[in-house]
A and B are shown apart, each in its own frame.
Chain A
Amino acid sequence: MQNIISNFDAISEEIMSQYAGEWIAVVDNKVIAHSKSFKEVYNLAKENYPHKKPLMGKLPENFPTVLSVY
């Protein structure tokens, strides 16, 4: 389970800012794919790193947001 933590720790301010609003896949602490589509990024990660478990993230936008839902 440490893989998920190290991939999470690798998501820096630079990554959060560069890919704001996009899905990213992080494998071995590096962003290996990004797109507006979850499936596109997930499938790329599975194809190119079949034995690795990517951390998938839809990064929040780079402007203030209110997300609460009820």
Chain B
Amino acid sequence: MTFSFKYKPVKLKTGETLYRPLIPITLEGEEKIDVLAMLDSGSDITIIPEELAEVLGVEYKKDNIIYGISREPVDAKEGKIYVKFGKGNEFYSFEIPILVPTGKLDLPIIIGRAGFFNQFKIIFIESERRIEFKRLEPFQIKYN
């Protein structure tokens, strides 16, 4: 079975419309919070803002550093969190690693590859402005 989400349009300051691959996903910690997140195949790992991580009660395992496109390093803490993701009759729960930037990094929630992209066959269908997901069978999931 497959399910998909349409890209979300935003009108730019220039007047053009840009379509972005956003998904709904539930982050499960001390509280379960539904969030809107950017699905980013170019990000190695998921990024969650510090304020949100505090409410979720994320337990940190170690310190790390985030490098963005500018290559400016930003201090971050590394942890794990359970997520629930799907649509219709298909919802899946699994754990993903996360980084929480401690410096001033004003980002949306970014769902990166580690722990998430290995759970599904994911197709960005740019011509139809939607992302399609097909859950992999357990034997197909690689954890490294």
Which of A37, A54, A57, A59: most chain B CB closer than 10 A? A57
On whether the beta carbons of A67 and B34 are closer than 8 Å, the reply is no
On whether the beta carbons of A70 and B36 are closer than 8 Å, the reply is no
Number of interface residues of A (CB under 8 A): 31
- Count A/B pairs, Cβ under 8 Å: 108
On whether the beta carbons of A11 and B43 are closer than 8 Å, the reply is no
Measured CB to CB, the closest approach of chain A to B58, in angstroms, equals: 14
On whether the beta carbons of B12 and A63 are closer than 8 Å, the reply is yes
On whether the beta carbons of B107 and A39 are closer than 8 Å, the reply is no
Per-residue A-contact encoding for B62-77, CB less than 8 Å = 1, 0 else: 0000111100000000
Name 15 interchain pairs, CB-CB below 8 A, sorted by A. A7-B34, A8-B24, A13-B9, A16-B10, A20-B10, A42-B55, A57-B109, A58-B49, A59-B10, A60-B10, A60-B38, A62-B11, A67-B68, A69-B66, A69-B112
